């Protein structure tokens, strides 16, 4: 009995120190969590390239990992720097447009004392609401200024911290370099460390890998296609800030339900109001074809059936992720939702019956 209590004391003593060491290790790595997680996601997506170089081309793992990191640098960092410069100019142009008389003249032409405004006010009469051209002018101008200023400040902050951006990116490449080489060892280490059965750990890891692939490869590729094509359409028909709206559409494409319609539908309304009815109908048809073709034809082929998650849950997880984590919430939100759903499946398959039986034995007189 004394030996058993002594062993328990040693176990609790060890566990206390072990938990403290985990906490301190987490504190040490906390400044790099975003870099490590993003590096792990990119490493998982780029692993097929590394495997092809190492297995098919018989290149040493270190050299294959280095070539993969160089490829990632060219594919990601170079376009990011290029986009930052263009985005800064486009966002600044949106601010100048909001401050200029262009919006005022547009509103005065199509709204102030117009039949459209009279029809709108007649519908709002029952609610004791009346809209004037001056109020509409001020509201739209303020929205344009705020949106342009927000985008300009965000992009300018990134551009002004180019050295920090470069350092963080190279740190992420360093993480990717070693994960590609020793990633399987790290996965096995986590499996051995986890108290869960190995098959459940493997299930969790595979779900994370599938979701990361779906978010980056599936949504990312489809978002880029919709943003590029939509931006080109804006540019071809002479709409201002085509590049900026293309980037916004690429980000909005991650969101189910809303998607690029948040940009296309206002653009169609704008074209109708300015008398470009045929162009407006063309934009509407193009939006339906682009959005429907990507969402229901291309994306299922790219993502497949690896990730089964309700559309509303994907939408809420991305919105919540953006609110909590910023732009990286596009990745973090679905990953957190994936962890919850996978653990729910494991609970139903392995633990629910055990808990219910335990409760039944406890309740039984």
**Shared-domain flag, residues 187 and 198:** no
Higher pLDDT, 261 or 327: 261
Residue at which a domain ends, from 191, 219, 240: 191
Q: How confident is the model at residue 173 (pLDDT cuts 50, 70, 90)?
A: very high
Residue 19's CB is within 10 A of a number of other CB atoms, namely 10
**Shared-domain flag, residues 186 and 231:** no
The domain in which residue 334 lies consists of 194-365
**Shared-domain flag, residues 170 and 40:** yes
On the question of pLDDT at 346 being above 80, the answer is: yes
Is 223 among the domain residues?
yes
- Contact in structure between 204 and 345 (CB atoms under 8 Å): no
Mean pLDDT, rounded, for 24-30? 90
Mean pLDDT, rounded, for 345-358? 76
Higher pLDDT, 62 or 210: 62
Is 21 among the domain residues?
no
* Spatial distance between the Cα atoms of 35 and 170, rounded to a whole number of angstroms: 10
**Shared-domain flag, residues 228 and 334:** yes
Mean pLDDT, rounded, for 263-277? 78
Residue 220's CB is within 10 A of a number of other CB atoms, namely 19
* Spatial distance between the Cα atoms of 82 and 86, rounded to a whole number of angstroms: 7
On the question of pLDDT at 104 being above 60, the answer is: no
Q: How confident is the model at residue 94 (pLDDT cuts 50, 70, 90)?
A: low
How many distinct structural domains can be found in the chain?
2
Closest CA to 316 of 248, 264, 257: 257
**Shared-domain flag, residues 176 and 266:** no
What pLDDT score was predicted for residue 67?
93
Is 329 among the domain residues?
yes
**Shared-domain flag, residues 112 and 224:** no
In the DSSP assignment, the letter for residue 253 is T
* Spatial distance between the Cα atoms of 156 and 92, rounded to a whole number of angstroms: 10
| Per-residue model confidence as pLDDT tens digits over 277-298 | 888 889 899 888 888 888 777 7
On the question of pLDDT at 87 being above 80, the answer is: no
Phi, psi at 304, each rounded to 5°: 70, -150
* Spatial distance between the Cα atoms of 260 and 248, rounded to a whole number of angstroms: 8
Residue pointed to by tokens 């682009």: 290
* Spatial distance between the Cα atoms of 231 and 242, rounded to a whole number of angstroms: 5
Mean pLDDT, rounded, for 325-346? 82
What pLDDT score was predicted for residue 144?
56
Q: What is the pTM of this model?
A: 0.71
Mean pLDDT, rounded, for 178-207? 85
2 CB-contact burial (10 Å; exposed 0-12 / middle 13-18 / buried 19+):
exposed
Residue at which a domain ends, from 191, 226, 248: 191
On the question of pLDDT at 103 being above 60, the answer is: no
Higher pLDDT, 14 or 127: 14
Closest CA to 290 of 323, 319, 315, 268: 268
Q: Give the best-scoring range by mean pLDDT among 232-241, 292-301, 349-358.
A: 232-241
Closest CA to 147 of 37, 310, 266: 266
What pLDDT score was predicted for residue 145?
56
On the question of pLDDT at 174 being above 90, the answer is: yes
On the question of pLDDT at 175 being above 90, the answer is: yes
What are the structure tokens assigned to 195, written together? Answer: 């108290």
Q: Give the best-scoring range by mean pLDDT among 54-63, 281-290, 291-300, 307-316.
A: 281-290
What pLDDT score was predicted for residue 95?
59
**Shared-domain flag, residues 298 and 171:** no
What are the structure tokens assigned to 79, written together? Answer: 């376009």
| Torsion over CA: 157, 160, 164, 167 (sign) | positive
Is 10 among the domain residues?
no
**Shared-domain flag, residues 241 and 132:** no
On the question of pLDDT at 68 being above 90, the answer is: yes
**Shared-domain flag, residues 86 and 160:** yes
Q: How confident is the model at residue 195 (pLDDT cuts 50, 70, 90)?
A: confident
Is 12 among the domain residues?
no
**Shared-domain flag, residues 122 and 246:** no
Helix (H, G, I), strand (E, B) or coil at 186: helix
**Shared-domain flag, residues 198 and 278:** yes
**Shared-domain flag, residues 276 and 351:** yes
What are the structure tokens assigned to 194, written together? Answer: 């986890």
Residue at which a domain ends, from 167, 191, 215: 191
What pLDDT score was predicted for residue 69?
93
Give, to the nearest 10 degrees, the angle between helix 198-213 and helix 162-193: 150
What are the structure tokens assigned to 60, written together? Answer: 């040493």
Mean pLDDT, rounded, for 63-92? 80
- Contact in structure between 150 and 46 (CB atoms under 8 Å): no
Is 3 among the domain residues?
no
Give alpha helix (H) positions in the chain.
2-29, 33-51, 61-72, 78-99, 102-110, 115-124, 133-160, 162-193, 198-213, 220-236, 242-252, 261-273, 277-293, 299-303, 311-325, 329-346, 352-363
Instruction: Give the helix/strand (H/E) hosting 136.
Output: helix 133-160
* Spatial distance between the Cα atoms of 132 and 144, rounded to a whole number of angstroms: 18
What pLDDT score was predicted for residue 153?
60
Is 1 among the domain residues?
no
276-286 in b/e form (b: 16+ CB < 10 A) is beebbeebbee
Whole-number average pLDDT of the chain: 77
Is 26 among the domain residues?
no
| Per-residue model confidence as pLDDT tens digits over 107-154 | 555 555 555 556 655 655 666 665 555 555 555 556 555 655 555 565
């Amino acid at each position: 009995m004394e030996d058993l209590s002594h062993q328990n004391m040693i176990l609790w003593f060890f566990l206390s120190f072990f938990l403290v060491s985990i906490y301190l290790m987490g504190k040490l790595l906390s400044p790099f969590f975003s870099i490590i997680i993003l590096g792990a996601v990119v490493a998982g997506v780029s692993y097929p390239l590394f495997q092809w170089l190492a297995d098919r081309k018989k290149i040493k793992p270190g050299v294959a990992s280095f070539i993969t990191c160089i490829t990632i640098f060219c594919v990601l960092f170079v376009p990011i720097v290029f986009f930052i410069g263009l985005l800064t100019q486009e966002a600044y142009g949106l601010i100048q447009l909001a401050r200029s008389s262009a919006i005022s003249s547009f509103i005065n032409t199509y709204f102030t004392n117009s039949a459209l405004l009279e029809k709108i006010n007649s519908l709002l009469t029952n609610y004791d609401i009346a809209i004037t051209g001056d109020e509409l002018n001020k509201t739209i101008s303020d929205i344009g200024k705020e949106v342009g200023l927000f985008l300009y400040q965000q992009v300018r902050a990134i551009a002004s911290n180019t050295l920090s951006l470069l350092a963080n990116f190279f740190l992420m490449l360093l993480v990717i370099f070693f994960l590609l080489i020793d990633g399987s060892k790290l996965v096995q280490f986590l499996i051995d460390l986890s108290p869960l059965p190995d098959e459940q750990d493997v299930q969790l890891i595979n779900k994370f890998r599938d979701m990361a692939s779906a978010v980056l490869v599936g949504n990312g590729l489809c978002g880029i296609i919709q943003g590029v094509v939509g931006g080109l359409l804006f540019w071809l028909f002479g709409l201002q800030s085509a590049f900026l709206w293309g980037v916004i559409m690429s980000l909005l494409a991650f969101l189910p339900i809303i998607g690029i319609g948040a940009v296309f539908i206002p653009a169609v309304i704008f074209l109708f109001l300015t008398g470009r009815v045929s162009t407006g109908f063309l934009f509407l048809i193009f939006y339906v074809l682009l959005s429907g073709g990507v969402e229901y034809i291309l994306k299922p082929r790219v993502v497949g059936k690896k990730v089964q998650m309700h559309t509303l849950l994907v939408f809420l997880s991305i919105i919540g992720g953006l609110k909590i984590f910023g732009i990286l919430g596009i990745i973090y939100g679905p990953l957190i939702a994936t962890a919850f759903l996978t653990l729910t499946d494991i609970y139903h398959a392995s633990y629910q019956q055990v808990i219910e039986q335990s409760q039944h034995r406890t309740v039984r007189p």
